[in-house]
Structure 1
Amino acid sequence: MKNLNIKNQVKTLTRTGALVLSLFFAQACQDALQEDVISQIGSEYLNTAKGLDDAVSAAYSSMRSWYGTERGNNFTEFGTDIYTNGADGSWKFMNTYTNQFDSQTGQVRELWDDLYRGINTCNAVIERAPGISGVNEATKTQRIAEAKFIRAHHYFLLMQLFGPVELRLEETKVPTKIVKRNPESEIYAAIIKDLTEAIPGLEARKASTQYGRATRAAAEHLLGRVYVTKGTSSSKAADDFAKAEPLFKNVISNYGLRLLPDFGQVHAFGNEINDEVIWSVQYTRSQLTNGGGNNAHVFFLMEYDTQPGMRRDTQNGRPFKRYRPTVYALEKVFQNRENDSRYKKSFIDVYLSNRPGTFNTTFDRSKPTVTFAQGDTSMFIPGFEMPATERAKRKYQVLTPSMYDEKLFPGLVKHLDPGRADLTQFEGGRDYIAMRLADTYLLLAEAQFRQGKLAEATATINIVRRRAAWPGKEAAMEITPAQMTFEFLMEERARELTGEQTRWLDLKRWGNLIERVKLHNPQAAPNIKDFHVLRPIPQNQIDRAEGGPSGFPQNPGY
C-alpha cells in the first residue's frame, strides 16, 4: 500500500496574499525519497497537474500543526478532568487557566495561522482544480473532495476552540484587512456542506490507493461528530443526533473496519496501520521531511530516568512530565481493573533496569538499598496501595498512589516511540491515529443516548466494553440500560480515549467543562471561569483586522 507522504507546507497566506510552496513530496515509503525542494514558487505552479497534487498534499500537512504536537496536546489534555500538569514548567497556565493564557500565547497564534493557511490552500485547490489541464476528471473530483474534507476539519476545530471565526471560502490572492466573525450557524452550514459534497468523491476506506488520504469513512465519521457537536450548540436542530446515527453506522458496517481483538494492539509501536484506524496523520523518519514530528511520545511520561537502576533510553522515552493523570482518572475512571484491561494496557507499570548496580532507594523507603542486574525489574507501579511489609519483600522499588507527585506517576504507553534515532530526539516519526473505530462506536452511543434510545446505546457501548475485557470477563463488562447514564458514557470515553486529543473538546461539547474541572482537577479549579469554554483570539489576528478590536472582537474574558 502506498503512503501519502505529506511534507512541509503549501502556504497560501491569508493576509499577505502570497502563494508559497514549501514541501518535499515523496513516493511510497518503500520507494526512494524524492528530495526535490520546492520553495517560494509563484501562484501559477498550482495551475499545473503536479502543482495540484502538491497543493493537496501540503494542505494535509497543516494537520501536523494539531495532531501529535505540543500545541494540540496542550489544547486538549491540559485543563480537563482526567489530566493535570506534571513537574515541567512549560505551558502549565493552559492547565491552571491563569491570566498568562491570553491573546499573546504563541501556541494560539501558531495554530490559528497554520489552520488558516491550510484553509486558503484548500480554497485555491477547490477553485482552480476544474480548470487545470492534464488531470483526469476522477482525480480532480477526488482532490477537490479531499480539500473540502480538510477545510471542514479546520473550520470545525477552529469553531470548537474559538467560537465564531472568519468564514472564508474563496482563495485570498491579495492582502486584505476586511475580516469579520461569521455566526456559528453559517460556519456549521459550510462545514456540513463541505463534508456532504466530499463524501461521494472520496475513495472508500479499503480502496484507498495512498494511505493517509481522506476517505469516505473518515468524512462520514467527521460529519457524524459535527452533528453530535452541533446538537449541543446554540445552532442545534431537533434532528442533529438523528442525522449523526446513520453516518456512524455506515462507518462501522460498510468499510471493512473492525475493532482489534486486543485493545493493547491499537497503539502498539509498529502497528499504526491496522483495521481499527479510520484515518491517521502521516509522519516520517526523515528529519528532512518530517516537519516538527509527532511529539506526543514525550508528554505523558514520568521521571523514570533519574531513579535507581535507570537511565534514559529510546525504549522508555524522553520524559517531559507534562501531563499527569488526575486522582479521578486513576481511581474512578479506571477503577474496574479486574474485568477491564484498559488500565493495564494504557499505563506503564514496570520498568526494567538499564543501569545495573546498587543504589539507595528514593521513594520506596521499605528498604534502604536496591541492587539490579541488566533487565531486572527496577520499579513496579501496581496502581494500588501496597503495605510497606509487602513492599519490603520486593527487590525493587514499588511506587504506590500515595507516593505520586508531579514527577512520579503512571505514564501513558500509547504514544511511546522507540523508533527514534536517539534518546534525545523530540521529532517522533509515528503516524498519529486521528480517527478510530472505537470512537465511532462511542459517538454512536452518544447520539443514540441523546435520542432516548437507551437499549440501542447500551448495546453499542457494550461492543467497546467487550473488546476491552480481560479474556473470560466479557460478560462481566457488559452493562444494562439502567446503568447507561451520561456519566457512565463520559467515563467510558475517558477509559477508551485517554491521551488521544479528545477530552477538552468532549467536555466543551457536553457543556460541563467548568463543572468537571472544578470537581476533578484541583490545580485548575481555583481559576477556571465560565469564559474559559473558548480560547483567546490571537492578538495578531485582531491587530491586522480593519478596525482592530471592533472589526474582529476578542472573546469575552481575555
Structure 2
Amino acid sequence: MKNTHIKTSLKTLGLISILTLSQTSCSDLLKENVISNISNDYIATTAGYNAAANAAYTTLRSFYGTERGISMSEYGTDIYSAGADGSYKGFHFYDSQLVGSVDILSQLWDETYKGINACNAVIERSSAVTGISDAVKKQRVGEMQYLRAHYYFILVQQFGPLDLRLKETLGPTKTATRTPEADVYKQIVSDLLAAIPVLESKAAASDYGRATKAAAENLLAKVYLTRASSKFAEASDYANAATLCNNVINNYGFKLLPDFASVFLQGSGEKNSEVIFSVQYTSDPLTNGASADQGNKLHLYFGMQYDVQAGMVRDIFYGRPFKRLKPTPYLLEKVFADRVNDSRYKKTFRDTWLSNSPGTYSNLFDGSKKSLTFKANDTTIYIPGYEMPLAERAKKPYQVLTPSMYNYALFPTLQKFFDPLRPDRTYENGSRDYIVHRLADTYLMLAEANLKLGKVAEATNAINMVRVRAAWPGKESAMTVAQDQVNMDLIMEERARELAGEQTRWMDLKRWNNLVARVKQYNTDAANGVADRHLVRPIPQKQVDLSENGGFPQNPGY
C-alpha cells in the first residue's frame, strides 16, 4: 500500500456553516469518522477541527484527475485535439457548446467555493479551538492558506474576476460581486506568503499529503510567473518566481529521478524524490469523495480504440479507452521529433499491444495484409511513429499503425496515467495519486523566469537538467542545448515534451498570451472557433442568474 495519509471525503455539509468533514479508510491514515447532522460548534472541538482541516483538501479532487479538470486544461490546446468520443467538446472546438449552462463549469465553481469556505472556517475558528497546540494550529492555518490560494488560482485562471470571499459564509446568500483579477492575485500572493513561514519543510511520514513549505513556494512561483505576463504584472514577479524555484530545487532534498518513466510508476512509485505535492487517491470510493469525483480518472481519456481491433478485447492492463484526447500532429511530429536522443516519446506513448484474444482475423485497418493469426501475447498492433513503407509493413505479422492512418479513434496513446490496479476492465475510478507539483516543472519554470530576466546562462542550466534526465543512455551530451538555442519557443516545446497530459497546457498558453494564435496554428479542429473571448470560460449561468442586482455579469462573448 502507498504510504498516504490525507485522504479525505466530503460527506456532509453543515447546514449553517457549509463546513466539510472527513473520514479515511486505511489503517495507516489519519483517523477520522464520517460525521452527519453535525452541530455548528463541532469544529471548535479537537476532532472537529482536525476533520474540517483534512476535509478542505477534498476539493483538490474536483479538478485534478477528473474529466472536468482535463477538459479545462488539455482540451483545445496546441498539443491535443478531439478524439472520436466524449462529452464537453465545446472545450475542444470553442463553439456554441461552450456556454455557461455546461454542468462541469458549475460543478467546478461550486466545489471550489465549498473548499474555499472550509478553509475560511478553519482559519477563522482556530483561535477558539481547545486541545490543540498553537504550533499545530499555525500549521493547519498555513495549510488552509495554501489551499485557499490554490483554489482561487484555479478559478481566476479559468474565469477571470471572481467573488473573493475571505470570511466563512454562514448561510445562503445572493450577494456576489466580481473582484478584479489583480486583487485576486494579490490575495493569492498574500495567502502564500503568510503560509510559507509556518508550514513544515516536508510533511512527516505520518502526515504525507499535507501542504508543505516547498509546495507553497512552488505554487507561489507559478503564481508570480503567471502574473508577470499579465496587464497587472509587478516588476519583481519574474525575479520572485526565480528565487522561489531555486529555493524548492536547492533546499528540500528533491531530486529528478534518473528515468523519466519512473515518475509515473503506480503504487510506491507515486511517492518519490521528484514529487513536491500530490492529490491523494485510494481504492476506497467513499474516501475519494462524491460520486462524480471518485478516483483519478485520467486513465480513461487518452486511450485509442484498441479493443475492437484484430486480436484484442478490452482488458484491465490496456485500459478502458474513452478516446477523448488525440495528440495533434504538432505534438507528435514537432515536439517529439527527436526520438534518437530523447527517450520521452517512447516513454510517453504506448506503441505496442499484445494479443489477449487469439485467433484469425480479417478486420484490419492495415491494408498491407488480408488477414492475421495471433497466439496469446503475440504483437497485434505496433505504432512506429513514422510512415513505414507498404512493403515493409506487409512483412510484419501484426498491424502497423502509421501516421497517415491516424484518425479520431486510432492514434498514439499517452500512457502516464494507466491504472492496471483497477478491479475490472470497466471500472472507471482509478486509485493512483495525481502529481500536482513535480521538480521537472519547477526547473522549467525557473528556465522561463530566468530567460525573461535576461539570465540566459541560468535558464540554459535549468532546462538542461530536464533534457539530460530525458536522454537515452549515452545521448546526454546530444540532449544538452547551448545558450544561443534557448528561447521561449524551446521552453514551450520542452514543457509539452515533459508535461503532456498533466493538466498544464491550457494555462501555459494563456500565461504566454498565445492561446488563440497557437490553437489556430496547430489545432485544425479548433482553429475556426477559438477567439480572444476564450481566454476565460463562461461563468456558470446559475451564478449569473442568482446574483442580486446584476452583481455578477457573464464574461463577454458568452
Q: Same fold (TM over 0.5)?
A: yes
**2:368 is matched with which residue?**
366
Moved more, 360-369 or 376-385: 360-369
Matched, 1:419 2:415: no
1:234-253 matches, within 5 Å, as 234-253=231-250
The 3 A distance-change label for structure 1 pair 208 and 254 is farther
Q: Cα deviations across residues 79-123 of structure 1 (Å, max 9, x unaligned)?
A: 100000100041112100011110101000000000000000000
Q: Distance in 2 between matches of 1:175 and 1:90?
A: 31
Matched, 1:509 2:511: yes
**2:82 is matched with which residue?**
85
Q: Kindly state the Cα deviation for residue 33 of structure 1 after the two structures are TM-superposed.
A: 9.5
**2:10 is matched with which residue?**
9
**1:552 is matched with which residue?**
552
Aligned pair partner of 1:284 in 282, 285, 302: 282
1:192-271 matches, within 5 Å, as 192-205=189-202, 207=204, 209-270=206-267, 271=269
Is the contact between residue 81 and residue 328 of structure 1 (CA under 8 Å) also seen in structure 2?
Answer: yes
Q: Cα deviations across residues 350-373 of structure 1 (Å, max 9, x unaligned)?
A: 001111111114211111111111
Q: Cα deviations across residues 239-294 of structure 1 (Å, max 9, x unaligned)?
A: 10001111100100111110000001101222111110000000111123222211
Q: Kindly state the Cα deviation for residue 169 of structure 1 after the two structures are TM-superposed.
A: 0.5
Q: Distance in 1 between matches of 2:243 and 2:11?
A: 35
Q: Distance in 1 between matches of 2:365 and 2:422?
A: 30
Matched, 1:131 2:128: yes
**1:113 is matched with which residue?**
110
SS at match of 2:188: helix
SS at match of 2:414: coil
Q: Cα deviations across residues 16-60 of structure 1 (Å, max 9, x unaligned)?
A: 75435454234xx45489684312322211111111111111110
Q: In structure 2, what residue type is equivalent to 1:324?
A: K
Q: Distance in 1 between matches of 2:547 and 2:167?
A: 18
Q: In structure 2, what residue type is equivalent to 1:81?
A: D
**1:53 is matched with which residue?**
50
Aligned residues between the structures: 552
Moved more, 352-361 or 33-42: 33-42
SS at match of 1:324: strand
SS at match of 1:102: coil
Is the contact between residue 21 and residue 38 of structure 1 (CA under 8 Å) also seen in structure 2?
Answer: no
Q: Kindly state the Cα deviation for residue 453 of structure 1 after the two structures are TM-superposed.
A: 1.0
Q: In structure 1, what residue type is equivalent to 2:260?
A: F
Is the contact between residue 21 and residue 48 of structure 2 (CA under 8 Å) also seen in structure 1?
Answer: no
**1:337 is matched with which residue?**
339
Is the contact between residue 221 and residue 244 of structure 2 (CA under 8 Å) also seen in structure 1?
Answer: yes
Q: Distance in 1 between matches of 2:396 and 2:432?
A: 36
Q: In structure 2, what residue type is equivalent to 1:79?
A: G
Aligned pair partner of 1:38 in 35, 38, 47: 35
Q: Distance in 2 between matches of 1:300 and 1:333?
A: 18
Is the contact between residue 122 and residue 147 of structure 1 (CA under 8 Å) also seen in structure 2?
Answer: yes
Q: Distance in 1 between matches of 2:173 and 2:181?
A: 22
1:314-463 matches, within 5 Å, as 314-463=316-465
Q: In structure 2, what residue type is equivalent to 1:554?
A: Q
The 3 A distance-change label for structure 1 pair 117 and 515 is same
Q: Distance in 1 between matches of 2:76 and 2:432?
A: 26
Moved more, 294-303 or 37-46: 37-46
Q: Distance in 1 between matches of 2:21 and 2:83?
A: 36
- Give the structure-1-normalised TM-score: 0.96
Q: What is the identity percentage for the equivalent residue pairs of Structure 1 and Structure 2?
A: 54
**2:144 is matched with which residue?**
147
The 3 A distance-change label for structure 1 pair 20 and 191 is closer
Q: In structure 2, what residue type is equivalent to 1:111?
A: L
- Give the structure-2-normalised TM-score: 0.96
Is the contact between residue 22 and residue 40 of structure 1 (CA under 8 Å) also seen in structure 2?
Answer: no
Alignment RMSD: 1.6
Aligned pair partner of 1:272 in 267, 270, 273: 270
Is the contact between residue 12 and residue 120 of structure 1 (CA under 8 Å) also seen in structure 2?
Answer: no
Q: Cα deviations across residues 463-520 of structure 1 (Å, max 9, x unaligned)?
A: 1000000000000011111111111110000000000000000000000000000000
SS at match of 2:492: helix
The 3 A distance-change label for structure 1 pair 486 and 525 is same
Q: Cα deviations across residues 184-231 of structure 1 (Å, max 9, x unaligned)?
A: 221111111110111111111264541111111100000000000010
Is the contact between residue 86 and residue 322 of structure 2 (CA under 8 Å) also seen in structure 1?
Answer: no
The 3 A distance-change label for structure 1 pair 211 and 243 is same
Q: Cα deviations across residues 119-159 of structure 1 (Å, max 9, x unaligned)?
A: 00000000001210000111101110000000000111111
Aligned pair partner of 1:186 in 183, 187, 191: 183
Q: In structure 2, what residue type is equivalent to 1:290?
A: N
Aligned pair partner of 1:122 in 119, 123, 129: 119
Aligned pair partner of 1:167 in 164, 167, 171: 164
Q: Distance in 2 between matches of 1:170 and 1:531?
A: 31
Q: Distance in 1 between matches of 2:326 and 2:74?
A: 10
Q: Cα deviations across residues 169-195 of structure 1 (Å, max 9, x unaligned)?
A: 011113222211111221111111110
Q: Kindly state the Cα deviation for residue 3 of structure 1 after the two structures are TM-superposed.
A: 2.4
Q: In structure 2, what residue type is equivalent to 1:219?
A: A
Q: Structure 1 segments of 4 or more deviating over 3 A?
A: 10-13, 20-23, 29-36, 206-209
SS at match of 1:371: strand
Q: Kindly state the Cα deviation for residue 341 of structure 1 after the two structures are TM-superposed.
A: 0.3
Is the contact between residue 78 and residue 519 of structure 2 (CA under 8 Å) also seen in structure 1?
Answer: yes
